[in-house]
Chain A
Amino acid sequence: KAGVTQTPRYLIKTRGQQVTLSCSPISGHRSVSWYQQTPGQGLQFLFEYFSETQRNKGNFPGRFSGRQFSNSRSEMNVSTLELGDSALYLCASSLGEPLLANYGYTFGSGTRLTVV
């Protein structure tokens, strides 16, 4: 079966611009989460969507936003880009997350964003 697909794989933007990243989950998965991976900070949680609703949100400024569509595909938007936004952005999908059940949380390959 197809895995989690993130597009684009690589992106270069200039400061002040905005960017939209896309994540297509595994077919049938309804939960999509977004993460920022940087060498210094490690993996940081951005937000999680389940059935088109944002269920959880990490400690990122309002410049970072997202949404989920009825087909479970999700987009993440970053406005007014800053140099510090350069990172690998990962999304992960799962069926759902009741309590501690592990529903095969699958990560995509990520989008490498470079802000210059």
Chain B
Amino acid sequence: DQQVKQNSPSLSVQEGRISILNCDYTNSMFDYFLWYKKYPAEGPTFLISISSIKDKNEDGRFTVFLNKSAKHLSLHIVPSQPGDSAVYFCAAEGAGNQFYFGTGTSLTVIP
């Protein structure tokens, strides 16, 4: 059973505009959420995280928003750049340091 879901397999955005990647989860006990970025032929690299006690965390062009009541988090990239084109995974940490990953969203930023 997929406890973390990314329902959009792909997203295309014009350079300079905002990219919004969404992630839903089912387990209200998850207390830490992460976003990873993956280029082809490479492993995922950590991008940004957020604790369940916060609703927003910002790091440069990247902001993650957490809506606990809706069990939803989103990653905003502003402004989007062609180098942001990659697959983005959201992940949630549950009890016992168990991690659950979404299936990824492929972002294409069009120059």
Contacts and interface: CB of A to CB of B under 8 A. Distances in A.
Interface residues of B, number: 29
Nearest to B4: A107
B44 A43 contact: yes
A33 B101 CA distance: 14
Interface majority SS (helix, strand, loop, mixed), chain A? strand
A11 B105 CA distance: 32
Nearest to A92: B101
Given A102-B87, A107-B101, A35 B46 contact: no
B43 A58 contact: yes
Given A37-B99, A88-B97, A110-B99, A105 B104 contact: yes
B46 A105 contact: no
Interface in A34-53: 35, 37, 39, 42-46, 48
A101 interface: yes
B9 A104 contact: yes
A27 interface: no
Interface in B45-88: 45-46, 85-87
Nearest to A98: B40
A17 interface: no
A109 interface: yes
Contacts of A46: 43
Contact of A100 (B45, B46, B87, B100): B87
Contacts of B10: 102
Interface of B: 2, 9-10, 34, 36, 38, 40-46, 85-87, 89, 91, 96-101, 103-106, 108
Q: Sorted from nearest, which 3 A-B pairs have the closest CB atoms? A: A45-B43, A102-B106, A107-B101
7 contacts: A43-B45, A43-B91, A45-B42, A90-B101, A102-B9, A102-B87, A110-B99
